[in-house]
Structure 1
Amino acid sequence: MANLASSTQVINRNKPTIGITGPDKGGEIAWWFTALGVWLAGGKPVHITPSFPRTADGLQGLIVGGGADVDPQTYQQEAVFKEYLQRTLHHPKKTFFQRVWRFTRWLYYPALFFLRKLFSRKPQWALDQARDHLEFQLIDQAVKKNLPVLGICRGSQLLNVYFRGTLYQDIEEFYREEPNPSSIFPVKKVTFLAGSKLAQIMGVQKLKVNALHHQAVQRPGAGLEVVAWEANQMVQGIEHTTRPFLIGVQWHPEYLPRRQEQRRLFQALVQKAKEVHHQIEAPDLQTALAAPKNSALEELERKEEQKASSSLQPRVLDR
């Protein structure tokens, strides 16, 4: 029996199980791309939703995913073909086959655009309180067991709320002088804090990322530090200063699998997951889900309800 237990432990370390959270409906494309990132990094992805709060044989790592997909703006298509023109047609030295190959590569973005549109839900401010509670309890379990955690977009915001940080409910005020693009295409320039875990993982000081969010971190929570930002100081990345791997990114690295630096995020998570000594088992999660809702989460949901209510009020358009 001792040999069997030892063998099982080695298998778990070699291929750790990574939980990936998401909504019951509307997040299928995000799940598949995130699962691909974990699988390519050598991990075993497990889908966790409010209707299926499973932990398989135990979780050694956690990814708190983004919100339900919404129809992206048409800016994406324009950006894709503008980029194609700049990089392909404006390079006359490229051979015909090189141009075809480059065009094929850039078809990835409009293809992803239409996939997301096909499986997306219409934009709405509907709350998902069951998912909020599930993810909050998973984060709590992961923190207590010192598991590696990656928050993506909404997941990064939830990490900040867990550590008692605050959020901007609407980030449009940061984009008074220039438009705020909503795109799966990498259009936003991000600067990383030198020496931070995130900067070491990404391997660069500056990078272009995509953006699909309408909220963002305002004040970082206890133990968290802002480690990536835009030129207007909009937060794009946070990390815990003492824990080995607790990182939140505002962009969607799962939609950029062709970028090596984006794949490094999943690789770093899986590598840390191989080193953990504890994991989240099914009984742990069931006990956690039976716990009362956290007060910080209730406050966040109250603000979202207020915002949803105000968005339904008729507006007077400026002329």
Structure 2
Amino acid sequence: MGVTGPDRGGVAAWIMTWWAIRWAGGKAVHITPGRPRSLQELDGLVVGGGADVDPGLYGQDPLSLIREIDATETGWRQRILGFVLYPLLWLLRRVLYTKLHGGDADRDRLEQALIREALDRGLPILGICRGMQLLNVVCGGTLHQNLEGFYREHPQVRSILPRKVVTLTEGSRIAALTGTNPLPVNALHNQAVAELGQDLVVAAREASGVVQAIESRNAPLILGVQWHPEYLPQKARHRRLFQGLVDSSRDLSVRARSQ
């Protein structure tokens, strides 16, 4: 099972994803721009979270920091603090988390190629946060770069803890894996799915209307979730996403050997 990530940072996500796949009975192989790998010898793909997807990939211009502050902070005091505080926070995040500002072009190219290869070969895919967004873009969809407008009535939650609740689409494949009851999830994202890509459908939303999961109804299992299930290993419903992926990969391998 291939698991993508950045060259710098992403260690915690890789370790937790490796553990989740191992727990489900699979074997994870780390893939980064500096250590690329074909899927020829692998039977599934996890596209991990990280830096925002380059807006140029879906035909939009990047939102500048000034425009984001203008859109987010409406009061003059908040705007003044924003122009001072947000650049400092951005610098702190870059130093501590080694996340590339403005995206990761090398990773974008690698993961686009891997997603296309997985789709062409009919391999199971799980996109996590950024991975879900890139899956949608590769399939021809678009993203919301800024979610501020969605949270006027419903507070925006940003936490590694499962403090947000999403509603699963009845009859969806993800609901079949996790159960149909509303699902508590974490939230670490800045962007979200706007227009759906080809052959993709909404599998979950939050109360604000933001898409929280997408999937293909075609075989094999192709899922994208906006949250980070790898950070919730103690939650059986989230572990079932990895179990479903590993089971789908195993079934594919068995069918291939029998032919």
TM-score w.r.t. length of structure 2: 0.78
For 1:33, which of 16, 20, 24 is the aligned residue? Answer: 16
Instruction: Please report how far the alpha carbon of residue 21 of structure 1 lies from its aligned counterpart in structure 2 after TM superposition.
Output: 0.1
Worse overlay, 51-60 or 140-149: 51-60
Structure index of larger Rg: 1
Task: Please tell me whether residue 254 in structure 1 is matched to residue 230 in structure 2.
Answer: yes
Which stretch shows the higher mean deviation, 163-172 or 252-261? 163-172
Instruction: Determine whether 1:229 maps to 2:205.
Output: yes
Runs ≥4 in structure 1, deviation > 6 angstroms?
Answer: none
Gapped runs of 5+ residues in structure 2? 53-92, 255-259
Equivalent position of 2:83 in the other structure: none
Offset of residue 55 of structure 1: 4.7
Equivalent in the alignment of 1:80: none
Counterparts of 1:43 and 1:27, CA distance in 2: 20
- Find the counterpart in structure 2 of residue 174 from structure 1: 150
Match of 2:29 in 1: 46
Q: Which runs of structure 2 are paired with 1:82-97 in the superposition (5 Å)?
A: none
CA distance in 2, matches of 1:122, 1:158: 20
Structure 1: how far apart are the matches of 2:39 and 2:98? 32
Task: Report the identity percentage.
Answer: 51
Q: Supply the distance in 1 between the matched residues of 2:49 and 2:146 (Cα, whole angstroms).
A: 16
Query: 2:124, 2:245 within 8 Å by CA — same for their partners in 1?
Result: yes
From the superposition, tell whether residues 245 and 57 of structure 1 become closer, same or farther in structure 2 (CA, over 3 Å). Answer: closer
Provide the alpha-carbon RMSD of the alignment.
2.0
Structure-1 separation of matches of 2:96 and 2:210: 26
> 1:172–1:60: structure 2 CA closer, same or farther, 3 Å change rule?
same
Matched, 1:243 2:215: no
Counterparts of residues 46-65 of structure 1 (less than 5 Å)? 46-55=29-38, 58-65=41-48
- CA-CA distance at 1:123 after TM superposition: 6.5
Is 1:189 matched up with 2:162?
no
Letter in 1 for 2:147: I
Amino acid at match of 2:113: Q
1:195 and 1:126 mapped to 2: Cα distance? Answer: 37
1:205 aligns with 2:181: yes
**Residues 251 and 27 (structure 1 numbering): CA distance in 2 closer, same or farther, change over 3 Å?**
same
Aligned pairs (5 A) from 1:99-114: none
- Name the structure 2 match of 1:24: 7
Retained in 1: the 8 A contact 2:168–2:174?
Answer: yes
> Are 1:166 and 1:220, in contact at CA under 8 Å, matched by a contact in 2?
yes
Alpha-carbon distance, 1:242 to partner: 1.7
**Unpaired segments ≥5 residues, structure 1:** 1-17, 70-116, 279-319
